Amino acid sequence: MAFTTEQLAVMDSIVARYPRKRSAIMPLLHFVQSVYGYVTKDGIETISEKIEVEAAEVTAVSTFYTQYKSEPVGEYHVGVCINTLCAVMGGDAIYDSVSNHLGIGNHETTKDGKVSLERIECNAACDYAPVVMVNWEFFDNQTPQSVRDLVDGARNGNPPAPTRGPKTLRTWKQNSEVLAGLSDGLANEGVSAGEPSKLGLKIAKEGGAK
């Protein structure tokens, strides 16, 4: 699975952003995922050559962070938060419901390759619990039924829009490209921080904080 000349040029442009080549390791890993859907052996070796470090160091980073996958995931990767607050608010019920609905478990993918499932320890969105992320886009205040509808829409090629962020849900590979630092032109779409996220700031200002 060799990279094309154009893809290698993109990798070079990513490396060129940084004063130290090794600083490009994480966006380069995301770029590899945007090409193949996961971090491949060839991807690791190419990155090691580009930033002049050992392949073992690239592997160490790719296996430390859970956003990087060593096996292919679905076109729509669904992460259900089951950490404390989301669990109390229904996260466990959501996970069980969508797992049974799809017939897959944690880190598994539907046979059509459309949807994969992961239990997430925290999506950093407790103010909207229970929260589900699809390709790292937020779906807030979810229920078992809303998530079943979400994955059905994804499998039919018509996924609902994220609660916050862009107006359309892009694929795993497309969002991996964004995480690599390549613009999709959608940065200004949608709401990034809703009212629950800003409530503490509002209360502080009402109390005289500047």
pLDDT by residue (tens digit) across 48-102?
A: 999 999 999 999 999 999 999 999 999 999 999 999 999 999 999 999 999 999 9
Q: Report d(CA 5, CA 152) in Å as an integer.
A: 37
Q: Report d(CA 104, CA 108) in Å as an integer.
A: 6
Q: Are strands 108-109 and 137-139 parallel, antiparallel or unpaired?
A: unpaired
* Domain 5-64 shares a fold with domain 76-171: no
Q: Report d(CA 86, CA 10) in Å as an integer.
A: 39
Closest CA to 79 of 64, 65, 91: 91
| The token pair that represents 185 in the structure block | 């032109």
Amino acid at residue number 182: L
What's the whole-model pTM score? 0.90
Question: What residues does each domain of the chain span?
Answer: 5-64, 76-171
- Residue 210 pLDDT level (bands cut at 50, 70, 90): low
CATH code of the domain made up of 76-171: 3.40.30.10
CATH code of the domain made up of 5-64: 1.10.10
